[in-house]
Amino acid sequence: MTAATLATPELNGDLSAAGVAFDLSDTNGAATSRDTEFERDALPWLDDVYRFALSLTRDESDADDVVQETFLRAYRSWHTFIPGTDCRRWLFTICRNVFLRSRERQRPTVDLEDGEQDAVAAGSVYAAARERGYDDIYARLDLAPALRDAVDELAEPFRSAVILVDVEDMSYETAAQVMGVPIGTVRSRLFRGRRLLQERLLTVAEDMGFVTSAEAAR
Amino acid sequence: MTTSTRARLEGLGLSASCVEVMQHLWDFLDEEITPDSARRLGAHMKECEHCRNYSDYQSCFFDALAKLKANLDAPSELRDKLASTLKREGCGCWDKARKS
């Protein structure tokens, strides 16, 4: 993806449709007000939006493009932001839409019957870890690089749910609004993502030749 | 959860309360559970070492995930590019996109 592909007719279309083009010829006072609000409410979330974009694109250059497009779109459409509401959520929603449009995809749909199946399956992962003496791997190993890789390898819908809830600390409800899906779907995707990550990390620990506490004591 | 799954878990020596913790611990840790359910799970975990250990394990996993947030800020090059983009757009606060 290039910046050129993102500086788009689609955006111009959005502008026309929203009448935002007229904002560019607003009075100085209105423009100043918009700038002040944009600086105060939107720009502080730049790091957060970048992290989310990076998790979606898995590519720094693509993430840069998505972030620029997100903030440009946010600035042009600032009149649609409702003051006092959650600006980070609003920006994340734009970011996700920019990403999905850049991939020329519809929002992916994943049918999961029941998040509890994954929750219970994670219990089985824990049981396996405990049997092998690996139940303290998170405390004893620096798994950050492996965890980052494992998150990157997750399929998109699961990755977004994990990033929004576990990394960005959003509630299920807020994440659902960002992803444009019901809360139950966020929960299912989140639980599947967590289970897959825990399975992956257990494998990584084994591959790293992780020595258990019991073995170390011998 | 199906009856057979529940029976299999209980066959592993887990009580019905342990199975309930396994099903809902993530909701509990996410604070996405009703106060009554939270009290019930909390009361069981207070008494059950297995479930406490499982809760600690999952909490450590969450801590590891939350730490991914550190050291992943927007690069200064991106901030510069965004500042230029906003400046072209006529944004009066374009320079604030840069790290102060």
CB B90 within 8 A of CB A31: yes
From residue B63, alpha-carbon distances to A118, B67, B68 in Å are 20, 6, 9
pTM value? 0.72
- Provide the ipTM: 0.79
pLDDT of residue A209: 67
CB contact A211 to B (< 8 Å): no
* B contacts of A120 (beta carbons < 8 Å): 1, 5, 9, 19, 22-23
B4 or A55: which carries more pLDDT confidence? Answer: A55
Where are the alpha helices (H) located in A19-59, listed in sequence order? 28-37, 46-57
Considering only CA atoms, which of A162, A177, A170, A52 is closest in space to residue A115? A162
pLDDT of residue B75: 84
Q: Do A35 and B91 touch (CB under 8 A)?
A: yes
Size of the A and B interface in Cβ pairs below 8 Å: 128
Q: Do B96 and A39 touch (CB under 8 A)?
A: yes
Binding-site residues on chain B for chain A (CB distance < 8 A): 1, 5, 9, 12, 19, 22-27, 30, 32, 53-54, 57-58, 60-69, 72-75, 77-79, 81-82, 85-86, 89-93, 96-97
pLDDT of residue A18: 31
CA distance A109 to A156: 10
CB interface of A with B, residues 19-78, below 8 Å: 24, 31-32, 35-36, 38-39, 43, 46-47, 49-51, 54, 60, 63-64, 67-68, 71-72, 75-76
CB B85 within 8 A of CB A64: no
pLDDT of residue A110: 47
pLDDT of residue A25: 45
Min Cα–Cα distance to chain B from A119, Å: 5
CA distance A88 to A172: 15
pLDDT score of B4 more than 70 = no
Mean per-residue pLDDT pooled into runs of 10, chain A (218 residues): 39 33 49 87 94 89 92 92 93 92 58 65 80 76 83 89 93 92 92 93 76 53
Radius of gyration of chain A, Cα coordinates, nearest whole angstrom: 21
CB B28 within 8 A of CB B45: no
Residue A7 has, within 13 A of its CA and on its CB side, a CA count of: 8
Scanning every residue of chain B, which has its alpha carbon at the shortest distance from the alpha carbon of A115? Answer: B23
CB contact A165 to B (< 8 Å): yes
Q: Among A38, A47, A136, whose Cβ lies nearest the Cβ of B93?
A: A38
Scanning every residue of chain B, which has its alpha carbon at the shortest distance from the alpha carbon of A53? Answer: B74
CB A120 within 8 A of CB B42: no
- Summarised one tens digit per residue, pLDDT across range B11-21 is 667 788 888 88
Q: What does chain A come to in residues?
A: 218
φ/ψ region of B13 (left if φ > 0, alpha if ψ in -120 to 50, else beta) reads left
Burial zone of A130 (CB within 10 Å; 0-12 exposed, 13-18 middle, 19+ buried): middle
pLDDT of residue A21: 35
- Summarised one tens digit per residue, pLDDT across range B33-79 is 999 999 999 999 999 998 999 999 999 999 999 888 876 788 888 89
CB contact A131 to B (< 8 Å): no
Q: What does chain B come to in residues?
A: 100
* B contacts of A32 (beta carbons < 8 Å): 92
